[in-house]
Structure 1
Amino acid sequence: MMSVMGKASEAGLPLMKLVKLRGVPILQQLHLEERLLRTSSDNWCLINDGTSSPTIVMGLSGKLSELVEVKPVLQDHIPIIRRFTGGGTVIVDQNTIFVTMICNKDAVSNVQPFPRSIMEWSGLLYNKVFEGIADFHLRENDYVFGDRKFGGNAQSITKNRWIHHTSFLWDYEVKNMSYLRLPAKAPQYRLTRSHLDFVCRMKEYLSRSEFIERTIKAIGGQFSVKSTGLESIDVPSVSEYVHTTRLLTEKEIQETSCTIQT
């Protein structure tokens, strides 16, 4: 990996700071991403290998009643987060691997600060990650092997910067999928497939460590990658910054349940 980084630096590629995490709670991760997007001027890549307990994460404008099976979520005390980016609804846990890229708008040549341009660039990047591994494609806004999804994406674009983050299903619990409803607005290629028929497990194709190594190598082809620790990130603390990303209260979820019943 050092040789890749060295070549990138010699080629005059932009600097990207890499932060490798393990098991950081998804709310903490999203809060950090939001602060890095809005208060830092550096390019960042965050890789979080798994999170803590199962958590549902919704896009900024997602409607709870249309996306989540509210009654079992309340019964099983599954937390729900509304994140600061768009995109769909996912349930994440220790078997989810998260990769986030936060870039200045001029950091990547030929990438315009628009959703489709960023998505197409990401598809090319991950095509290198999965080269020789499986039949990888970018289908609409999803990463798939064949026609089965294993990576969901979301983005946010500001005046000078953008974020593209992905939750990768290295594995999943079948029960967790039952907390999600079939969305009214689904990718065309999904057809009417259930969650279990629509998604696949990355672990059937490569190990967690190999995926992370290949991802860092692919990023190193376009950036000069510098590893840094969580403690050295110089952005406002959680208490100093008002985040858009937040944990929904039980009252909010209960009110949605009452609305559905009536």
Structure 2
Amino acid sequence: MATRQVGRVGLPLMNIVRMKGVPILQQLEIEECLLRTSSDNWCIINDGTDKPNIVMGVSGKPAELLEISPVLEDRIPVIRRFTGGGTVIVDDGTIFVSFICNKEAVPDVQPYPRPIMSWSSLLYSKVFQGTTDFRLRENDYVFGLRKFGGNAQSITKNRWIHHTSFLWDYKTRNMSYLKLPKRTPEYRLARDHLDFICPMKDYLSRSDFINKTIDAAGSHFSVKSSEFDALKLRSNSKFTPTSRLLTKQELEAAAIKSCE
């Protein structure tokens, strides 16, 4: 595929990598490697993942967040990722977008969670321009009072990653694997998952969303397309990622703890 470069001269360069159906654990491993071993700016877009997975933040506790018995019975993989944030279940209806940036590439953004979230919401406001009541509420992207995008971050000395799981669509059954967490956004108002979230497909198509995201990135960066195979080659074979699958034994121990 020919290299496509857009954006104004003088803007920092950002590599755009478009993927489809890449397993979410592989994506997380690549992103952590790029965050910690690369000096380039990246936007990783993965249109769906290969099968349902539950992804928890780095400090997430399965006993508090998951209905562990059905998770075990249905053999749903559970991943602890390297970033913070909450717990999501992802599948082929999820679109993932990650920005990995050098601090000096976005000098007006202080390298702390809230300023990074505010920056990202301004970028996505261009994507959803004309769409009903898009906004950032606490740490979520919402239409009105219903969430369709969850965010997580990791900040290092010179770089940061901001990644989002967008619910283009979801399967009702998958939401039953998640407990209502003890700490929730105020705007949730104790609503269950199905009353709290909404699918993005009611507002725009997958391709429109992805193309508009790339165009919005082009207003902040000089954007260059990169191939997924080239991205894999850049991965440092000596780097050991910290995102990992939880073992069956860990989940069974958490199930016992949740019954205590």
TM range, smaller chain = over 0.9
Partner Cα separation in structure 2 for residue 236 and residue 209 of structure 1:
27
Counterpart residue identity of residue 234, structure 2: V
Partner Cα separation in structure 2 for residue 253 and residue 51 of structure 1:
22
Partner Cα separation in structure 2 for residue 219 and residue 89 of structure 1:
26
Match of 2:257 in 1: 259
Match of 2:234 in 1: 235
Match of 2:116 in 1: 118
Measured after TM superposition, the shift of residue 5 of structure 1 is 4.6
Measured after TM superposition, the shift of residue 133 of structure 1 is 1.9
Contact kept in structure 1, 2:14 and 2:224, CA below 8 Å: yes
| 1:86 is aligned to 2:84 | yes
Counterpart residue identity of residue 159, structure 1: K
- Which residue, 227, 242, 245 being the options, matches 2:243? 245
Measured after TM superposition, the shift of residue 9 of structure 1 is 3.6
Match of 2:149 in 1: 151
Question: Taking structure 2 as the reference length, what is the TM-score of the superposition?
Answer: 0.96
Q: Which moves more between the two structures, 17-26 or 252-261?
A: 252-261
Contact kept in structure 2, 1:39 and 1:235, CA below 8 Å: no
Contact kept in structure 1, 2:64 and 2:258, CA below 8 Å: no
Partner Cα separation in structure 1 for residue 253 and residue 119 of structure 2:
41
Contact kept in structure 2, 1:152 and 1:166, CA below 8 Å: yes
Match of 1:96 in 2: 94
Pairs within 5 Å for 1:13-24: 13-24=11-22
Match of 1:176 in 2: 174
Runs of 4+ in 1 over 6 A off after TM superposition: none
Structure 2 stretches of 5 or more lacking a match? none
Match of 1:43 in 2: 41
Counterpart residue identity of residue 208, structure 1: R
Q: Secondary structure at 2:85's aligned position in 1?
A: coil
Contact kept in structure 1, 2:8 and 2:219, CA below 8 Å: no
Measured after TM superposition, the shift of residue 240 of structure 1 is 2.6
- Which residue, 115, 139, 142 being the options, matches 2:140? 142
Indicate the percent of aligned positions where both proteins have the same amino acid.
64
Q: Which moves more between the two structures, 157-166 or 252-261?
A: 252-261
Q: Secondary structure at 2:63's aligned position in 1?
A: helix
Q: Secondary structure at 2:213's aligned position in 1?
A: helix
Measured after TM superposition, the shift of residue 232 of structure 1 is 1.6
Structure 1 stretches of 5 or more lacking a match? none
Counterpart residue identity of residue 107, structure 2: S
- 1:202-238 CA deviation, whole Å, 9 max, x = no partner? 000000000001100000011000000122235344x
Q: Secondary structure at 1:77's aligned position in 2?
A: coil
Match of 1:34 in 2: 32
- 1:101-130 CA deviation, whole Å, 9 max, x = no partner? 000011113101110110000010101100
Question: Taking structure 1 as the reference length, what is the TM-score of the superposition?
Answer: 0.95
Give the alignment's Cα RMSD to 1 decimal. Answer: 1.4
Contact kept in structure 2, 1:80 and 1:248, CA below 8 Å: yes
Partner Cα separation in structure 2 for residue 236 and residue 174 of structure 1:
36
- Which residue, 96, 107, 127 being the options, matches 2:125? 127
- 1:42-99 CA deviation, whole Å, 9 max, x = no partner? 0000000000110000000011111111011001000000000000000000000000
Partner Cα separation in structure 1 for residue 222 and residue 234 of structure 2:
21
Contact kept in structure 2, 1:86 and 1:155, CA below 8 Å: yes
Contact kept in structure 2, 1:95 and 1:169, CA below 8 Å: yes
- 1:24-56 CA deviation, whole Å, 9 max, x = no partner? 000000000000000000000000000011000
